[in-house]
Amino acid sequence: MNNVCVYCEFEEGSIQDVSFELLTKGRSLANQLGCKLEALVLGSGLDGLEKEISRYGVDMLYIADDKRLYPYTTLPHTAVATGLFRETQPQIVLMGATSIGRDLGPRISSSLGSGLTADCTNLEIGEYEDKKAGKRYDNLLYQIRPAFGGNIVATIVNPDNRPQMATVREGVMKKEIVSETHQAELIRVDAGKYLREEDLVVRILERQIESSKINLKNSSIVIAGGYGVGSRENFNLLFELAHAIGAEVGASRAAVDAGYADKERQIGQTGITVRPKLYIACGISGQIQHIAGMQDAAMVISINNDPAAPINKLADYVIQGNLENIIPRMIRYYRKNVK
Protein backbone atom coordinates (compact mmCIF):
# COMPACT_ATOMS: atom_id res chain seq x y z
CA MET A 1 0.00 0.00 0.00
CA ASN A 2 1.04 3.60 -0.69
CA ASN A 3 4.12 2.63 -2.63
CA VAL A 4 5.83 4.12 -5.66
CA CYS A 5 4.79 2.37 -8.87
CA VAL A 6 6.37 2.59 -12.31
CA TYR A 7 4.32 1.57 -15.34
CA CYS A 8 6.89 -0.29 -17.46
CA GLU A 9 6.39 -0.08 -21.18
CA PHE A 10 6.73 -3.32 -23.13
CA GLU A 11 7.26 -2.99 -26.87
CA GLU A 12 8.71 -5.34 -29.50
CA GLY A 13 9.89 -7.89 -26.96
CA SER A 14 11.59 -5.62 -24.49
CA ILE A 15 11.05 -3.05 -21.78
CA GLN A 16 11.73 0.51 -22.91
CA ASP A 17 14.76 2.37 -21.56
CA VAL A 18 12.62 5.15 -20.15
CA SER A 19 10.99 2.62 -17.80
CA PHE A 20 14.37 1.59 -16.39
CA GLU A 21 15.27 5.25 -15.94
CA LEU A 22 12.03 5.77 -14.01
CA LEU A 23 12.64 2.67 -11.89
CA THR A 24 15.97 4.17 -10.85
CA LYS A 25 14.29 7.46 -9.94
CA GLY A 26 11.44 5.54 -8.29
CA ARG A 27 13.94 3.59 -6.18
CA SER A 28 15.44 6.76 -4.76
CA LEU A 29 11.99 8.31 -4.12
CA ALA A 30 10.86 5.11 -2.35
CA ASN A 31 13.99 5.15 -0.19
CA GLN A 32 13.27 8.71 0.85
CA LEU A 33 9.64 7.90 1.61
CA GLY A 34 10.45 4.63 3.33
CA CYS A 35 8.10 2.68 1.09
CA LYS A 36 8.39 -0.01 -1.55
CA LEU A 37 9.07 0.25 -5.27
CA GLU A 38 6.57 -1.50 -7.51
CA ALA A 39 6.77 -2.17 -11.24
CA LEU A 40 3.78 -2.94 -13.42
CA VAL A 41 4.11 -4.66 -16.79
CA LEU A 42 1.14 -5.27 -19.05
CA GLY A 43 1.53 -7.21 -22.27
CA SER A 44 1.79 -10.66 -23.73
CA GLY A 45 4.73 -13.08 -23.88
CA LEU A 46 6.36 -11.52 -20.85
CA ASP A 47 8.33 -14.54 -19.62
CA GLY A 48 11.89 -13.87 -18.64
CA LEU A 49 11.55 -10.18 -17.84
CA GLU A 50 11.69 -10.64 -14.06
CA LYS A 51 15.45 -10.58 -13.75
CA GLU A 52 15.94 -7.62 -16.03
CA ILE A 53 13.41 -5.52 -14.12
CA SER A 54 14.35 -6.72 -10.63
CA ARG A 55 17.91 -5.45 -11.07
CA TYR A 56 16.76 -1.86 -10.68
CA GLY A 57 15.84 -2.54 -7.07
CA VAL A 58 12.17 -3.40 -7.59
CA ASP A 59 10.44 -4.81 -4.51
CA MET A 60 7.22 -5.97 -6.11
CA LEU A 61 6.73 -6.80 -9.77
CA TYR A 62 3.15 -6.99 -11.03
CA ILE A 63 2.83 -8.81 -14.33
CA ALA A 64 -0.36 -9.17 -16.35
CA ASP A 65 0.34 -11.48 -19.27
CA ASP A 66 -2.64 -11.59 -21.61
CA LYS A 67 -3.05 -11.59 -25.39
CA ARG A 68 -5.52 -8.73 -25.10
CA LEU A 69 -2.81 -6.51 -23.63
CA TYR A 70 -0.48 -6.58 -26.64
CA PRO A 71 -0.01 -4.61 -28.79
CA TYR A 72 -0.91 -1.71 -26.55
CA THR A 73 -4.39 -0.26 -26.81
CA THR A 74 -5.76 2.37 -24.46
CA LEU A 75 -8.84 0.84 -22.89
CA PRO A 76 -7.52 -2.60 -21.82
CA HIS A 77 -4.38 -1.07 -20.29
CA THR A 78 -6.47 1.58 -18.51
CA ALA A 79 -8.88 -1.03 -17.16
CA VAL A 80 -6.16 -3.28 -15.73
CA ALA A 81 -3.97 -0.44 -14.39
CA THR A 82 -6.81 1.47 -12.73
CA GLY A 83 -8.36 -1.73 -11.38
CA LEU A 84 -5.07 -2.68 -9.82
CA PHE A 85 -4.30 0.82 -8.51
CA ARG A 86 -7.69 0.92 -6.79
CA GLU A 87 -6.56 -2.13 -4.80
CA THR A 88 -2.86 -1.37 -4.27
CA GLN A 89 -3.33 2.40 -3.72
CA PRO A 90 0.10 3.61 -4.85
CA GLN A 91 0.97 7.13 -3.66
CA ILE A 92 3.05 7.83 -6.77
CA VAL A 93 2.74 6.51 -10.33
CA LEU A 94 5.42 7.31 -12.93
CA MET A 95 5.28 6.68 -16.68
CA GLY A 96 7.34 7.53 -19.73
CA ALA A 97 6.27 10.57 -21.75
CA THR A 98 6.10 8.35 -24.84
CA SER A 99 3.33 7.80 -27.38
CA ILE A 100 2.00 5.15 -25.01
CA GLY A 101 2.51 6.98 -21.72
CA ARG A 102 0.91 10.16 -23.03
CA ASP A 103 -2.09 8.20 -24.29
CA LEU A 104 -2.54 6.12 -21.13
CA GLY A 105 -1.53 8.57 -18.36
CA PRO A 106 -4.36 11.08 -18.82
CA ARG A 107 -6.93 8.30 -19.19
CA ILE A 108 -5.86 6.75 -15.88
CA SER A 109 -5.64 10.11 -14.13
CA SER A 110 -9.15 11.03 -15.22
CA SER A 111 -10.50 7.67 -14.17
CA LEU A 112 -8.93 7.90 -10.71
CA GLY A 113 -9.55 11.65 -10.39
CA SER A 114 -5.89 12.30 -9.70
CA GLY A 115 -3.50 14.97 -10.94
CA LEU A 116 -0.97 14.34 -13.69
CA THR A 117 2.02 16.48 -14.67
CA ALA A 118 3.53 15.97 -18.11
CA ASP A 119 7.18 16.12 -19.15
CA CYS A 120 8.77 16.60 -15.74
CA THR A 121 12.46 17.40 -15.79
CA ASN A 122 12.97 16.60 -12.13
CA LEU A 123 11.15 14.78 -9.31
CA GLU A 124 11.80 15.34 -5.62
CA ILE A 125 10.14 14.81 -2.26
CA GLY A 126 9.20 17.79 -0.13
CA GLU A 127 6.63 19.58 1.99
CA TYR A 128 3.80 21.89 1.02
CA GLU A 129 1.82 24.42 2.95
CA ASP A 130 -1.64 25.37 1.82
CA LYS A 131 -1.84 28.77 3.49
CA LYS A 132 -5.48 29.35 2.60
CA ALA A 133 -6.67 26.10 4.11
CA GLY A 134 -4.06 26.28 6.87
CA LYS A 135 -2.89 22.77 6.04
CA ARG A 136 0.57 21.30 5.91
CA TYR A 137 1.60 18.30 3.89
CA ASP A 138 4.78 16.29 4.25
CA ASN A 139 6.39 13.99 1.75
CA LEU A 140 4.66 15.16 -1.41
CA LEU A 141 6.06 14.53 -4.86
CA TYR A 142 7.50 17.71 -6.35
CA GLN A 143 6.83 17.54 -10.08
CA ILE A 144 9.28 20.01 -11.51
CA ARG A 145 9.08 21.26 -15.09
CA PRO A 146 9.78 24.40 -17.06
CA ALA A 147 6.79 26.68 -17.20
CA PHE A 148 5.80 28.84 -20.11
CA GLY A 149 6.98 32.39 -19.60
CA GLY A 150 10.69 32.93 -19.85
CA ASN A 151 13.31 31.04 -17.93
CA ILE A 152 10.90 29.84 -15.30
CA VAL A 153 10.62 26.49 -13.57
CA ALA A 154 7.45 25.47 -11.75
CA THR A 155 7.08 22.98 -8.92
CA ILE A 156 3.71 21.24 -9.05
CA VAL A 157 2.20 19.21 -6.23
CA ASN A 158 -0.96 17.14 -5.78
CA PRO A 159 -1.77 17.61 -2.09
CA ASP A 160 -5.02 15.67 -1.75
CA ASN A 161 -5.50 13.27 -4.63
CA ARG A 162 -3.74 9.96 -5.08
CA PRO A 163 -1.85 8.67 -6.88
CA GLN A 164 0.42 11.59 -7.68
CA MET A 165 1.17 11.01 -11.35
CA ALA A 166 3.96 12.29 -13.59
CA THR A 167 5.39 11.54 -17.01
CA VAL A 168 9.07 11.96 -17.87
CA ARG A 169 10.79 11.78 -21.25
CA GLU A 170 13.40 9.24 -22.16
CA GLY A 171 16.95 10.29 -21.27
CA VAL A 172 15.97 12.83 -18.60
CA MET A 173 16.68 10.47 -15.68
CA LYS A 174 19.66 8.14 -15.53
CA LYS A 175 19.25 4.39 -15.20
CA GLU A 176 21.32 2.54 -12.68
CA ILE A 177 21.29 -1.16 -11.78
CA VAL A 178 21.07 -1.69 -8.01
CA SER A 179 22.14 -5.32 -7.92
CA GLU A 180 22.32 -8.07 -10.55
CA THR A 181 21.03 -10.62 -8.07
CA HIS A 182 18.20 -8.62 -6.55
CA GLN A 183 14.89 -10.46 -6.77
CA ALA A 184 11.52 -8.76 -6.80
CA GLU A 185 8.48 -10.49 -5.38
CA LEU A 186 6.54 -11.58 -8.45
CA ILE A 187 2.79 -11.02 -8.42
CA ARG A 188 0.78 -12.35 -11.34
CA VAL A 189 -2.24 -10.28 -12.19
CA ASP A 190 -5.27 -11.83 -13.85
CA ALA A 191 -6.20 -9.27 -16.51
CA GLY A 192 -9.54 -11.01 -17.05
CA LYS A 193 -10.63 -9.80 -13.64
CA TYR A 194 -10.56 -6.20 -14.84
CA LEU A 195 -11.29 -6.39 -18.58
CA ARG A 196 -14.79 -5.94 -19.90
CA GLU A 197 -16.17 -6.53 -23.37
CA GLU A 198 -16.42 -2.75 -23.98
CA ASP A 199 -12.69 -2.37 -23.48
CA LEU A 200 -12.00 -4.22 -26.71
CA VAL A 201 -13.77 -1.92 -29.18
CA VAL A 202 -10.57 -0.51 -30.69
CA ARG A 203 -8.74 -2.93 -32.95
CA ILE A 204 -5.29 -2.59 -34.48
CA LEU A 205 -5.38 -3.53 -38.16
CA GLU A 206 -1.77 -2.86 -39.04
CA ARG A 207 1.33 -1.72 -37.22
CA GLN A 208 4.76 -0.64 -38.35
CA ILE A 209 7.48 0.34 -35.93
CA GLU A 210 10.75 1.53 -37.45
CA SER A 211 13.95 1.82 -35.54
CA SER A 212 15.12 5.38 -35.29
CA LYS A 213 17.64 6.51 -37.89
CA ILE A 214 18.86 9.42 -35.86
CA ASN A 215 21.05 8.69 -32.89
CA LEU A 216 21.13 12.07 -31.22
CA LYS A 217 20.98 10.73 -27.71
CA ASN A 218 24.28 8.88 -27.94
CA SER A 219 26.20 11.26 -30.15
CA SER A 220 29.28 12.76 -28.51
CA ILE A 221 29.03 15.95 -30.53
CA VAL A 222 25.71 17.67 -31.23
CA ILE A 223 25.25 20.62 -33.55
CA ALA A 224 21.89 22.20 -32.87
CA GLY A 225 20.16 24.81 -34.96
CA GLY A 226 17.48 27.24 -33.87
CA TYR A 227 15.11 29.70 -35.42
CA GLY A 228 18.11 31.88 -36.24
CA VAL A 229 19.22 29.35 -38.86
CA GLY A 230 16.49 30.90 -40.97
CA SER A 231 15.64 28.17 -43.48
CA ARG A 232 15.77 24.48 -44.28
CA GLU A 233 18.53 25.20 -46.83
CA ASN A 234 20.66 26.86 -44.18
CA PHE A 235 20.28 23.77 -42.02
CA ASN A 236 22.39 22.01 -44.66
CA LEU A 237 25.31 24.05 -43.38
CA LEU A 238 24.87 22.32 -40.02
CA PHE A 239 24.72 18.92 -41.70
CA GLU A 240 27.93 19.68 -43.59
CA LEU A 241 29.74 20.65 -40.41
CA ALA A 242 28.30 17.57 -38.68
CA HIS A 243 29.51 15.37 -41.52
CA ALA A 244 32.98 16.90 -41.38
CA ILE A 245 33.54 16.55 -37.63
CA GLY A 246 31.43 13.43 -36.99
CA ALA A 247 28.45 14.91 -35.18
CA GLU A 248 24.66 14.62 -35.17
CA VAL A 249 22.29 17.52 -35.88
CA GLY A 250 19.64 18.66 -33.41
CA ALA A 251 17.16 21.53 -33.38
CA SER A 252 15.14 23.82 -31.14
CA ARG A 253 11.38 23.66 -31.18
CA ALA A 254 11.15 26.99 -32.94
CA ALA A 255 13.26 25.54 -35.77
CA VAL A 256 11.07 22.43 -35.89
CA ASP A 257 7.85 24.46 -35.83
CA ALA A 258 9.17 26.64 -38.64
CA GLY A 259 9.78 23.50 -40.70
CA TYR A 260 13.57 23.89 -40.86
CA ALA A 261 14.19 20.53 -39.16
CA ASP A 262 12.31 17.31 -38.42
CA LYS A 263 10.52 16.79 -35.14
CA GLU A 264 12.73 13.80 -34.25
CA ARG A 265 15.65 16.20 -33.93
CA GLN A 266 14.05 18.43 -31.30
CA ILE A 267 16.12 18.85 -28.17
CA GLY A 268 14.58 19.99 -24.91
CA GLN A 269 11.87 19.47 -22.36
CA THR A 270 9.47 18.09 -24.96
CA GLY A 271 12.15 16.61 -27.17
CA ILE A 272 15.31 14.63 -26.59
CA THR A 273 17.76 15.08 -23.73
CA VAL A 274 21.42 14.95 -24.76
CA ARG A 275 24.67 14.88 -22.76
CA PRO A 276 27.38 15.25 -25.39
CA LYS A 277 30.96 16.30 -24.81
CA LEU A 278 30.43 19.19 -27.23
CA TYR A 279 27.23 21.08 -28.01
CA ILE A 280 27.29 23.74 -30.71
CA ALA A 281 24.19 25.94 -30.53
CA CYS A 282 23.65 27.84 -33.77
CA GLY A 283 21.04 30.60 -33.75
CA ILE A 284 19.42 29.38 -30.53
CA SER A 285 18.38 31.92 -27.89
CA GLY A 286 18.29 29.50 -24.96
CA GLN A 287 14.84 29.36 -23.42
CA ILE A 288 14.52 27.12 -20.38
CA GLN A 289 12.58 24.45 -22.33
CA HIS A 290 15.56 24.08 -24.66
CA ILE A 291 18.21 24.27 -21.94
CA ALA A 292 16.40 21.45 -20.10
CA GLY A 293 17.53 19.08 -22.84
CA MET A 294 21.21 20.06 -23.12
CA GLN A 295 22.41 21.56 -19.83
CA ASP A 296 24.60 18.56 -19.06
CA ALA A 297 26.76 19.03 -22.14
CA ALA A 298 30.43 19.08 -21.13
CA MET A 299 31.27 21.98 -23.42
CA VAL A 300 29.01 24.49 -25.16
CA ILE A 301 29.75 26.75 -28.10
CA SER A 302 27.16 29.36 -29.00
CA ILE A 303 27.06 31.00 -32.41
CA ASN A 304 24.68 33.94 -32.19
CA ASN A 305 24.48 37.46 -33.55
CA ASP A 306 22.88 38.72 -30.35
CA PRO A 307 25.53 39.21 -27.63
CA ALA A 308 22.76 39.10 -25.00
CA ALA A 309 21.30 35.72 -25.99
CA PRO A 310 20.66 33.81 -22.73
CA ILE A 311 22.40 30.69 -24.02
CA ASN A 312 25.69 32.59 -24.12
CA LYS A 313 25.78 32.46 -20.31
CA LEU A 314 26.03 28.68 -20.50
CA ALA A 315 28.64 28.72 -23.23
CA ASP A 316 32.36 28.09 -22.91
CA TYR A 317 32.90 29.86 -26.21
CA VAL A 318 30.66 32.45 -27.78
CA ILE A 319 31.12 33.37 -31.41
CA GLN A 320 29.36 36.61 -32.16
CA GLY A 321 28.11 36.91 -35.69
CA ASN A 322 25.99 35.42 -38.41
CA LEU A 323 26.06 31.66 -38.60
CA GLU A 324 25.70 31.68 -42.42
CA ASN A 325 29.25 32.87 -42.80
CA ILE A 326 30.76 31.40 -39.62
CA ILE A 327 29.89 27.74 -40.16
CA PRO A 328 31.43 27.45 -43.67
CA ARG A 329 34.67 28.82 -42.29
CA MET A 330 34.59 26.38 -39.38
CA ILE A 331 34.39 23.56 -41.93
CA ARG A 332 37.20 25.05 -43.96
CA TYR A 333 39.55 25.54 -40.99
CA TYR A 334 38.73 22.10 -39.66
CA ARG A 335 39.72 20.49 -42.97
CA LYS A 336 42.86 22.61 -43.07
CA ASN A 337 44.01 21.82 -39.53
CA VAL A 338 43.12 18.18 -39.11
CA LYS A 339 45.53 15.80 -40.72
Partner 1 sequence: MYKIIVLAKQVPDTRNVGKDAMKADGTVNRAALPAIFNPEDLNALELALLIKDRYPGTTIVLLTMGPVRAAEILREGLYRGADAGFLLTDKAFAGSDTLATSYALSCAIRKIGLPDIILAGRQAIDGDTAQVGPQVAEKLGIPQITYAEDILSVDNRTVRVKRRLERGFELVESVLPVLVTAHSTAPECRPRNARRLMQFKRATTLSERHHSADDYLAAQTHSTEPVLTEWCAKDVNSDLLQLGLGGSPTKVRQVENIVFQAKESKVLSAADDDIEWLIQELISQHTIG
Q: Where do contacts with ligand FAD occur on this chain (CB under 6 A)?
A: 148, 226-228, 252-255, 266-271, 283-285, 287, 289-290, 293, 303-306, 309, 322-324
48, exposed or middle or buried, with CB in 10 Å at 0-12, 13-18, 19+?
exposed
Continuous segment of H or E residues that includes residue 62: strand 60-65
Which option in ligand FAD, partner 1, none does residue 57 bind, with CB closer than 5 to 8 A by kind?
none
The mark string for 304-333 relative to partner 1 (x by CB under 8 A, - otherwise) is --xxxxx-xxxxxxxxxxx--xx--xx--x
Is 180 or 206 the residue whose CB approaches partner 1 more closely?
206
Is 61 or 319 the residue whose CB approaches partner 1 more closely?
319
Query: Please, which of residues 57-96 interact with partner 1 by CB under 8 A?
Result: 71, 73-75, 78
Least distance between partner 1 and beta carbon 296 (Å): 13
Is 136 or 263 the residue whose CB approaches ligand FAD more closely?
263
Cβ neighbors of 127 (< 8 A, separation 6 or more) are: 136, 137, 138, 139, 140
In angstroms, the CA 312 to CA 176 distance is 32
129, exposed or middle or buried, with CB in 10 Å at 0-12, 13-18, 19+?
exposed
In angstroms, the CA 317 to CA 315 distance is 5
131 binds partner 1 (CB under 8 A): no
β pairing state of 14-15 and 10-11: antiparallel
The mark string for 187-216 relative to partner 1 (x by CB under 8 A, - otherwise) is --------------xxxxxxxxxxxx----
Least distance between ligand FAD and beta carbon 287 (Å): 4
Which option in ligand FAD, partner 1, none does residue 35 bind, with CB closer than 5 to 8 A by kind?
none
Query: Please, which of residues 228-287 interact with partner 1 by CB under 8 A?
Result: 245-246, 253-254, 257-258, 263, 269-270, 277-278, 285-287
Contact 37, 71 (CB under 8 A): no
Cβ neighbors of 336 (< 8 A, separation 6 or more) are: none
DSSP, collapsed to helix, strand or coil, labels residue 55 as: coil
